[in-house]
Amino acid sequence: MPEDIKEKIVYSFKNDYSEGAHLDILNALINTNTSQQNGYGEDCYSEEAVDILKDKINNENIDIHFVAGGTQANLVVISSVLRPYESIIAADTGHISTHETGAIEATGHKISIVESLDGKLLPERIEKLLSEHSSEHMVKPRMVFISNSTELGTVYKKNELEKLSLFCKKNDLILYMDGARLGAALTSDTNDLTLEDISRLVDVFYIGGTKNGALLGEAIVLCNDSLKKNFRYNMKQKGALMAKGRILGIQFSELFRNNLFFSLGKHANFMVSKLGSSIEKLGYDFLNETESNQIFPIFPTEVVEKLTEKYGFYVWQNIDDEMSAVRLVTSWATKEEIVDRFLSDLEKLIEHK
Amino acid sequence: MPEDIKEKIVYSFKNDYSEGAHLDILNALINTNTSQQNGYGEDCYSEEAVDILKDKINNENIDIHFVAGGTQANLVVISSVLRPYESIIAADTGHISTHETGAIEATGHKISIVESLDGKLLPERIEKLLSEHSSEHMVKPRMVFISNSTELGTVYKKNELEKLSLFCKKNDLILYMDGARLGAALTSDTNDLTLEDISRLVDVFYIGGTKNGALLGEAIVLCNDSLKKNFRYNMKQKGALMAKGRILGIQFSELFRNNLFFSLGKHANFMVSKLGSSIEKLGYDFLNETESNQIFPIFPTEVVEKLTEKYGFYVWQNIDDEMSAVRLVTSWATKEEIVDRFLSDLEKLIEHK
Amino acid sequence: MPEDIKEKIVYSFKNDYSEGAHLDILNALINTNTSQQNGYGEDCYSEEAVDILKDKINNENIDIHFVAGGTQANLVVISSVLRPYESIIAADTGHISTHETGAIEATGHKISIVESLDGKLLPERIEKLLSEHSSEHMVKPRMVFISNSTELGTVYKKNELEKLSLFCKKNDLILYMDGARLGAALTSDTNDLTLEDISRLVDVFYIGGTKNGALLGEAIVLCNDSLKKNFRYNMKQKGALMAKGRILGIQFSELFRNNLFFSLGKHANFMVSKLGSSIEKLGYDFLNETESNQIFPIFPTEVVEKLTEKYGFYVWQNIDDEMSAVRLVTSWATKEEIVDRFLSDLEKLIEHK
Amino acid sequence: MPEDIKEKIVYSFKNDYSEGAHLDILNALINTNTSQQNGYGEDCYSEEAVDILKDKINNENIDIHFVAGGTQANLVVISSVLRPYESIIAADTGHISTHETGAIEATGHKISIVESLDGKLLPERIEKLLSEHSSEHMVKPRMVFISNSTELGTVYKKNELEKLSLFCKKNDLILYMDGARLGAALTSDTNDLTLEDISRLVDVFYIGGTKNGALLGEAIVLCNDSLKKNFRYNMKQKGALMAKGRILGIQFSELFRNNLFFSLGKHANFMVSKLGSSIEKLGYDFLNETESNQIFPIFPTEVVEKLTEKYGFYVWQNIDDEMSAVRLVTSWATKEEIVDRFLSDLEKLIEHK
């Protein structure tokens, strides 16, 4: 997928992990560098990060573990919950369904696919799937995977998550939220969820650092007591227990000590909304509504081609012979002047058409 | 295993990953921070690191991939080489045999155990194992796992590795070297191997960054052509393809651009040899000969108890009612003045006995 | 799924494995009973069966192994072919996709689903799937699973299989045919394939005994040389190497020595076609065209309810408020008088409506 | 391992699965052949077999499932009990440790090896192993595998099993008995265990049919309530749920309706004890004491060579330049006249030496 970002390129809107890390985080790494610490996440920085997070989440009854990346988080969590014959339900658009090279199946489990609505899972569609799994000749769906924000940039509303949570409890399903982009979700204009809400409504979730200003790192939050036992064994077995776990603890302390995590998410969303409202004014449509740091505007193909000379982004879908939808992702690191320049370039392209 | 490093502790000799990273590495992270890069190891820093490493190894016919940690390296490499019914041969002291929570078995493969000699594998012992595996009612041993330095701190000599390599080729076995502590091994006084030698004698190895001055990171080197195809698929599936792969590339560039890797290893070894020769002069024995950055001196138990008040280390083995062997590990970050202080404290303890 | 077959039930059309085995097979077991034989398929009866099958298939360049059941055959074959990150392509209706409790995923592999046409896979649909799998962030589809007859009772025509075979060769895909019901397929009126054709067009297939008159047993036929090495290791590891492998050899010798296999398949098809043509004359439609020993007639729901009092079968699909499609399966053991009785009962039900 | 049993061979003492099945079993298959039954073990014969077995075991609080073979039983049971990071403890001589081609590891679990005493596991040795597994950097031993009779032909005494059972309960370990040769064990002269005892002392065991007169089949008995849930899902997933499960039910009904199982075991033991006592009288030693249907006499190598011209058996161990231990296995099918002939041939060989 990725090719070299060429020198001529002014800026890449391909994803939210193109730069390094927020400077506060790098400085924290430097300031703590010489302190000797225990390995494997039993250092005082990781302990501090856990305390800070419990405070922010406002829930003492949770276990928190840090891992390096999102695929790792997903495979460690899911393989630790399911018995061999159990499956995890995910949207057809879900990250684990398509973009993790069979990471979940490699731990022995089927993913039971449900068609999503704008990237979200609906209880009634899960119910239909459950009703079709009636005997030992089929897997037993046991866990539900959702992403927030979703792979299409939408975010779960509180009442949606409550319904899903209630449905899962009724049906003895474990609800898991992949929060790779939780920073953008929780700071979306349309969001009405808090970390505390999430911790009460799902059984397990993770808070993504990599896509919100950290060098690396995701914080797995185990809310359901029955999932907590021996979790570190699973992490170690899957290669997810970092020797210098301190690096993860330091970063999450920094992200949550003073709400850096939220301000970075807000910034990314603001950049995208600026892009979105201006593009809308220019008369263009979108594949779906904008809720977080991804938008999917539909441009004339020749405009797209011109834009690629100076900006990086993915062509998401060919609408017809003349129009293409592209994906623009902003991040904690996207500067407003770049957004302005992009919009100005876009405007010029249209005038010259 | 790990408990909090108490405040009163002057220094911990427990392992070589207690501190953060060498400052040059942190500075490199800062200097490259704002550059936008492709994700998943396809950034220009990782490409540069590969070029630098190929140059240092003096072998163009190798593939290099960076992963976050050692267990990850082991499970990705081994699961990518073996067919389902094949096993990997390892020493009883081997890291994968005991200290990776069944990470290799979790990918479906048995570890065929051979008794080691001072942490090393001998061809004749492997041969015996092979002769006992004669039919489809047993696994087919297909790969050989060695560590350099070994888990006991010994290092492989060139003629030992040559014999093992020849034996493996004759017996259609893939030879794999875990180089978590390769920095200490290659800068040991008794070492006569080069990276180039290793790249010609083994099929695959990895160069450890985590235990030699990096924040995190190991460089997997695939030497045998037949192992190279689609390797990144395996990495992704096992959660080992980091989104910000740049972090690994930047660090390995820094470690190998000006031989920082070797000077850090040399320093660790020098610190241990200073410890060792002084302890020897004080009249104490060792569990085995010192070759790299670990020593196992045997002290009276009451001396051990006194030492633990100010220094961190593991009690490795109770020799008898009065004597205990301890493990002291030095690193790139161990200061000579700390070593001097430890030795002075030790001397005082003995005088007061 | 299964409930007790009640005493009042005249006959069950639920499946083709309700009875024991053809008497010739039971007699062969008795006649060979006291002969001492090597275990694990290395007995003279299994060797004889292999010879007979090679002769019938008219292909010397094949390896043949016997296993107890179909799920076992599928999981042994597929896990033995694929590397960890590779997937198998199957129809949404495919047996491995839905009815094997995640047996394939339990060996670590994703099933890449393609929408079928009447239970069959089409090259153009596979091509689309391949085009969507472009990088190491997704699994690599590497094998194609088809069933003949399909789960919907249709059979592959020679030109269809040739196209699929050619497509697979071009795209470096391994073609695998699940022949659980190959007996019914090869004796279908619409069939134009021979065992020899199949052995030249697919890389591996299996010939089902369980559903065509044997007590148990499927014969795996490896046609592609690259799949043959160490296959028995895989069988043993998955629990598929039977101690008294003789039982499988004896049965397949009996099934193929004098074409019993084909005459049993022909009988099953004849019984279904008798059912089908009479039901058609009574004015009923079918879900799809009849090609082998399964039909899916659409009856008024009240007729269905009456029929269940005397006959066993599955209600396959509710068409609307008044009509339901049922599945009727015949077998080697279905007696013509039973078919006549069923038809007569059906006719009476309609008259009395 | 196996070579063709040559025509000149009078009899093979290689194992206890060389012949087909006891005639009562074959007759039962014939007598039930035309009855239509539900598939997958939900037939009335399997239900009857379960009832008969519960009665014989004198324990209503057990679940019973039938599978085709021993490796299958082991991998289904073990993978169904353990969480991913848990291991099973087995003797170095244990069948799963060496002779199942990594079947257990293929389900993701390490086997933690303990040195056996005459094939048996001792609590104190397990305790040592447990004490060495102290953290999440190692697997968590969670299950104990024993065989009765053991791979060396010894049998567990009631007090031995009681101690082991108590030890396991204290240490939260699941105790599993592989009863591939339970028939020979329970009818050994030295045995003082009943099926009921076993069902109260272990958490799960299986009763072997294949090596005691059945065509195929092992009965898995789940005693511990916590292991019972959804067990059939595991069976199906691992390919162990036979379509014509009736075959297994019919055989076990036959084996246990009138104690055939025990009389067959008794016969095998009687044949071996006749061999043993006569060989002892001829002045030969044994590798270990005889307790069930295997003996390991030590003969001069030239006697061994002569014997192999007429009898099949495995040379087990070369004692020295002149003497070799061989393994002689008797079975339900071994005729007394063959034993007499062997002894007479042996006597003649000695006279002629």
- pLDDT tens-digit profile of C200-250? 999 999 999 999 999 999 999 999 999 999 999 999 999 999 999 999 999
- Asked which of A180-194, A290-304, D5-19, D62-76 is least confident by mean pLDDT, the reply is D5-19
* CB-based contact D85 A237, cutoff 8 Å: yes
Burial class (CB in 10 A: 0-12, 13-18, 19+), C258: exposed
Alpha helix segments (H runs only) across chain C = 23-31, 44-57, 70-81, 95-98, 123-131, 158-170, 182-186, 195-201, 231-237, 246-257, 260-281, 301-307, 336-351
Residue C342 pLDDT greater than 60, yes or no: yes
Rounded to an integer, what distance in angstroms lies between the CA atom of residue D338 and that of residue B315? 62
pLDDT grade for C290, boundaries at 50, 70 and 90: confident
Kindly report the average pLDDT of chain B as a whole number.
95
Contacts of C80 in chain B (CB under 8 A): 83-84
The answer to whether C73 and C178 have CB atoms below 8 angstroms apart is yes
Rounded to an integer, what distance in angstroms lies between the CA atom of residue D224 and that of residue D226? 6
Q: Which residue has the higher pLDDT, D6 or C260?
A: C260
Does B11 touch chain A if contact means CB atoms closer than 8 Å? yes
Strand ranges (DSSP E) for D150-259?
174-179, 204-208, 218-222
Does B18 touch chain A if contact means CB atoms closer than 8 Å? yes
Q: For D328, left (φ over 0), alpha (ψ -120 to 50), or beta?
A: beta
Residue B3 pLDDT greater than 50, yes or no: no
Rounded to an integer, what distance in angstroms lies between the CA atom of residue A223 and that of residue A60? 10
Span C136-148, mean pLDDT? 98
Q: Which amino acid is at A30?
A: I
pLDDT grade for C353, boundaries at 50, 70 and 90: low
Q: What is the pLDDT of residues A203-233, one digit of tens each?
A: 999 999 999 999 999 999 999 999 999 999 9
Q: Which residue has the higher pLDDT, C40 or D9?
A: C40
The answer to whether C238 and B88 have CB atoms below 8 angstroms apart is no
Measuring CA to CA, how many Å separate C229 from each of B83, C88, C223, D104?
11, 20, 12, 22
Residue A27 φ then ψ, to 5°:
-65, -40
Residue C163 φ then ψ, to 5°:
-60, -45
H or E element, residue D73: helix D70-81
Residue C2 pLDDT greater than 60, yes or no: no
| CA-based nearest distance D255→chain A, Å | 28
Say which of A99, A113, A137 has its CB closest to residue C1: A137
Q: Which of A240, C101, C105, A81 shows the shortest CA–CA distance to D107?
A: C105
Does A113 touch chain C if contact means CB atoms closer than 8 Å? yes
pLDDT grade for C85, boundaries at 50, 70 and 90: very high
Contacts of D37 in chain C (CB under 8 A): 5, 18-19
Q: What percent of chain C has pLDDT over 90?
A: 94
H or E element, residue A184: helix A182-186
Q: What is the pLDDT of residue B7?
A: 57
Span A120-143, mean pLDDT? 97
Residue B90 pLDDT greater than 70, yes or no: yes
Q: Could you tell me the two tokens for A76?
A: 């460690």
Kindly report the average pLDDT of chain D as a whole number.
95
* CB-based contact B235 C136, cutoff 8 Å: yes
Does A24 touch chain B if contact means CB atoms closer than 8 Å? no
* CB-based contact B105 D100, cutoff 8 Å: no
Residue B212 φ then ψ, to 5°:
-140, 45
Contacts of C240 in chain D (CB under 8 A): 72, 239
Residue B170 φ then ψ, to 5°:
-60, -35
Q: What is the pLDDT of residue B351?
A: 79
Rounded to an integer, what distance in angstroms lies between the CA atom of residue A67 and that of residue A246? 11
Rounded to an integer, what distance in angstroms lies between the CA atom of residue D178 and that of residue B133? 23
Does C75 touch chain D if contact means CB atoms closer than 8 Å? yes
Does A103 touch chain C if contact means CB atoms closer than 8 Å? no
Rounded to an integer, what distance in angstroms lies between the CA atom of residue D32 and that of residue D253? 12
- In this structure, the strands spanning B323-329 and B314-318 are antiparallel
Span B138-156, mean pLDDT? 97
SS (H, E, C) chain B: CCCCCCCCCCEECCCCCCCCCCHHHHHHHHHCCCCCCCCCCCCHHHHHHHHHHHHHHCCCCCEEEEECCHHHHHHHHHHHHCCCCEEEEEECCCHHHHCCCCCCHHHCCCEEEECCECCECCHHHHHHHHHCCCCCCCCEEEEEEEECCCCCCCCCCHHHHHHHHHHHHHCCCEEEEEECCHHHHHCCCCCCCCHHHHHHHCCEEEEECHHHCCCCCEEEEECCHHHCCCHHHHHHHCCCCCCCCHHHHHHHHHHHHCCHHHHHHHHHHHHHHHHHHHHHHCCCCECCCCCCCEECEEEEHHHHHHHCCCEECEEEEECCCCEEEEEEECCCCCCHHHHHHHHHHHHHHHHCC
pLDDT grade for C1, boundaries at 50, 70 and 90: very low
Rounded to an integer, what distance in angstroms lies between the CA atom of residue B103 and that of residue B72? 9
Q: Could you tell me the two tokens for C90?
A: 């199957």
Which residue ranges form the domains of chain B, and what is each CATH number?
Answer: 11-16+261-351 (3.90.1150.10), 23-257 (3.40.640.10)
Contacts of B75 in chain D (CB under 8 A): none
Q: What is the pLDDT of residue A352?
A: 72
Q: What is the dihedral of CA B221, B227, B231, B237, to 10 degrees?
A: -110
Q: What is the pLDDT of residue D352?
A: 72
> Which residues are B315's β-sheet partners?
B326
pLDDT grade for C351, boundaries at 50, 70 and 90: confident
> Number of residue pairs across A and C with CB atoms under 8 Å?
62
| CA-based nearest distance A100→chain D, Å | 20
pLDDT grade for D7, boundaries at 50, 70 and 90: low
Measuring CA to CA, how many Å separate D342 from each of B55, C353, D19, D271?
72, 76, 18, 11
Measuring CA to CA, how many Å separate C123 from each of C96, C198, C296, D161?
19, 17, 26, 60
Does B113 touch chain D if contact means CB atoms closer than 8 Å? yes
pLDDT grade for A33, boundaries at 50, 70 and 90: very high
Does B341 touch chain D if contact means CB atoms closer than 8 Å? no
Would you list the DSSP string of D289-326?
A: ---SSEE-BEEEHHHHHHHTTTEE-EEEEE-SSSEEEE
Residue D2 pLDDT greater than 50, yes or no: no
What residue has token string 């419990």? Answer: A54
Burial class (CB in 10 A: 0-12, 13-18, 19+), D175: buried
Residue B337 pLDDT greater than 80, yes or no: yes
Span C16-33, mean pLDDT? 97
* CB-based contact B139 D101, cutoff 8 Å: yes
pLDDT grade for D289, boundaries at 50, 70 and 90: confident
| CA-based nearest distance D317→chain A, Å | 39
Q: What is the pLDDT of residues A171-203, one digit of tens each?
A: 999 999 999 999 999 999 999 999 999 999 999
- In this structure, the strands spanning B298-300 and B311-312 are unpaired
pLDDT grade for B288, boundaries at 50, 70 and 90: confident
Span C325-339, mean pLDDT? 97
Rounded to an integer, what distance in angstroms lies between the CA atom of residue D90 and that of residue D99? 12
* CB-based contact A108 C87, cutoff 8 Å: no
Half-sphere exposure of A278 (CA within 13 A, CB side): 15
* CB-based contact A234 D85, cutoff 8 Å: yes
Measuring CA to CA, how many Å separate B247 from each of A37, B41, C352?
21, 9, 80
Residue A17 pLDDT greater than 70, yes or no: yes
- In this structure, the strands spanning D323-329 and D298-300 are antiparallel
| CA-based nearest distance D210→chain A, Å | 26
Q: Could you tell me the two tokens for D88?
A: 């099973």
Contacts of C140 in chain B (CB under 8 A): 230, 233
Rounded to an integer, what distance in angstroms lies between the CA atom of residue A235 and that of residue D190? 47
Say which of D33, D103, D107 has its CB closest to residue C26: D33
Rounded to an integer, what distance in angstroms lies between the CA atom of residue B58 and that of residue D174? 54
Residue B2 pLDDT greater than 50, yes or no: no
* CB-based contact D236 A136, cutoff 8 Å: yes
> Would you give the distance in Å from CA D293 to the centre of its chain?
11
Residue D1 pLDDT greater than 60, yes or no: no
Rounded to an integer, what distance in angstroms lies between the CA atom of residue D99 and that of residue C203? 30
8-state DSSP, A80: H
Q: What is the pLDDT of residue B353?
A: 63
Residue of B101, B132, B135 for testing the chain D interface, max D β-carbons within 10 Å: B101
* CB-based contact D138 B85, cutoff 8 Å: no
3-class DSSP state of D286 = strand
The answer to whether A253 and A48 have CB atoms below 8 angstroms apart is yes
Residue of D76, D216, D313 for testing the chain C interface, max C β-carbons within 10 Å: D216
3-class DSSP state of A86 = strand
H or E element, residue C298: strand C298-300
Prior bond to B87 cis, omega within 30? Answer: no
A289-303 in b/e form (b: 16+ CB < 10 A) is ebbbbbbbbbbbeeb
Q: What is the pLDDT of residues D199-209, one digit of tens each?
A: 999 999 999 99
Q: Which residue of B has its CA nearest to D113?
A: B113
Q: Which of B201, B242, B1 shows the shortest CA–CA distance to B101?
A: B1
Please name the chains neighbouring D, where neighbouring means 3+ C-beta pairs under 8 angstroms.
A, B, C
B205-225 in b/e form (b: 16+ CB < 10 A) is bbbbbbbbbbbbbbbbbbbbe
Q: Which of C173, C2, C184 shows the shortest CA–CA distance to C88?
A: C173
Rounded to an integer, what distance in angstroms lies between the CA atom of residue B252 and that of residue B216? 10
Within 10 angstroms of residue C45's Cβ, the number of other Cβ atoms is: 23
Half-sphere exposure of C14 (CA within 13 A, CB side): 24
Q: What is the pLDDT of residues D164-196, one digit of tens each?
A: 999 999 999 999 999 999 999 999 999 999 999
> Which residues are C111's β-sheet partners?
C88
The answer to whether A208 and A181 have CB atoms below 8 angstroms apart is yes
Window C:235-294, CB contacts with D under 8 Å: 236-244, 246-247
pLDDT grade for A353, boundaries at 50, 70 and 90: low
Q: What is the pLDDT of residue D353?
A: 63
State the pTM of this model: 0.96
> Would you give the distance in Å from CA C223 to the centre of its chain?
19
- In this structure, the strands spanning C86-91 and C140-147 are parallel
The answer to whether D142 and D119 have CB atoms below 8 angstroms apart is no
Contacts of A79 in chain D (CB under 8 A): 84
> Number of residue pairs across C and D with CB atoms under 8 Å?
181
* CB-based contact C32 D38, cutoff 8 Å: no
Q: What is the pLDDT of residues A83-128, one digit of tens each?
A: 999 999 999 999 999 999 999 999 999 999 999 999 999 999 999 9
Measured in residues, chain C has a length of 353
